Structure 1
Amino acid sequence: MWSQQRIQLPAMERGFHLITDRVVEALPDLARCRVGMLHLQLLHTSASLTLNENADPDVRHDMDAFLRRLVPGDLPYFRHTLEGPDDMPAHVIASLLGTQLTLAVHDGRLALGTWQGIWLGEHRNHGGPRRLIATLNGEE
C-alpha cells in the first residue's frame, strides 16, 4: 500500500515542538499498515525535523539553547541577511539537523522507542505555518 498526505502545521514560536500526535492524527491509513515505513519531508529550509526525547520539555529547551549558541545570528561573515538576522542561522541549523525523517511502522503504529518523539525545529523568530509531506509505504 502507498499513501501520501500533506500536513499543515500552524505557526509556532522559535524552538523545538513535539509533533508526533499531529503527524499520527493526519495519517488515517497508518492503522492499516502491518509493516512499513513512513517518510516525512518538511517543505522548508529554515526549520527541521528530528527524533528525540518526548517526555521532558527541558530537553527541547536545552537543544534550542545549545543551537542558538552554536549558530548565533550575529556572525559577521553571513551575507544572506535580507530576510533578517535569524534567517541564515536557521538555514544552517536546518541543514545540520535535516528536513526529513524515515520511521519504521509496526502493527499500525510508528515503531518509536519509549522516550522518542518527532520534533519540529522552528529556527526563525516568525517562521509562519509549516508544511510536511508524509509518505506511507507498507503491507496491510
Structure 2
Amino acid sequence: MQAAAPAWAPPIVSSASAVSARPRRGARAGAGAVRCELAVSAPSSAAGSLAPRWAQRTVVIPPQRRGCHLITPKIVNGIRDDLSEFKCGMAHLFWPDDMPAHIKSSMFGCALTIPITDGRLNMGTWQGIWLCEHRDYATPRQIVITLMGSKSPMTIDTNSCKCNMTI
C-alpha cells in the first residue's frame, strides 16, 4: 500500500498506452503489443517551489541589414536574470507579424516556443533563434518573451515504471 501524497502535491499522473505492431508470420493473435505505465510525481522536498512561475520581458533587437541573423545571444542576455531562476518550463517568443508579404510570415512564423531546462534554453548544438530581415530599411524589433514553469522539476518515479512486451 502506498502512502498518501501530501495535500500540496499535484495529483499523480499515470498514463498507459498499447501499441500493436504487425504480427510476424505464424505468430499468435495479439502478439507484439507493448504496454507501458509511467507515474510522475513531485519531489516531497519542493513544497514551496512548485507554484507556477511567470516572467515576461520585451527585448529590442537593433535594426539588421537584409538577411538572416542569429539573435540567440541577444535574447539570452535580455532574459538572463529571469531565466536562471527556472528549473524547467517553456520560453515563448513572439514578435508582431509586420513582414512585407504573408508568404514570408507563413514560411518563418512570428512565434517560437523553446523548452527551459536547468535555467537554460534547451536547444541543440546547431539550433538558434534567428531574425530574418526582408526589408531594405530595417527598424528595431520588439520581441516579447514569456517564461513559464517552476523552480523545481517534476520527477519520474522509476520504481513505478513498468514495461511489458509480448512477442
Assess same fold via TM > 0.5: yes
The partner residue of 2:93 within 29, 40, 46 is: 40
> 4+ runs of 1 displaced by more than 4 Å?
none
Q: Which amino acid aligns with 1:16?
A: C
TM-score, length-normalised on structure 2?
0.56
Residues matched between the structures, number:
98
Distance (Å, rounded) in 1 between the aligned partners of 2:109 and 2:63: 19
Amino acid at match of 2:63: A
1:1-140 matched pairs, under 5 angstroms: 1-27=53-79, 28-46=81-99, 87-88=100-101, 91-140=102-151
1:43 CA displacement: 2.1
Structure 1, unpaired ranges of 5+? 47-86
Residues in 2 aligned to 1:138 and 1:22: alpha-carbon distance in whole angstroms: 22
Of structures 1 and 2, the one scoring higher in RCO (CA 8 A, sep 6+) is: 1
Q: What do you get for the CA RMSD once the two structures are aligned?
A: 1.1
Deviation at 1:97, TM superposition (A): 1.2
* Aligned AA (2:131): L
More helix by share: 1
Question: Highest Rg: 1 or 2?
Answer: 2
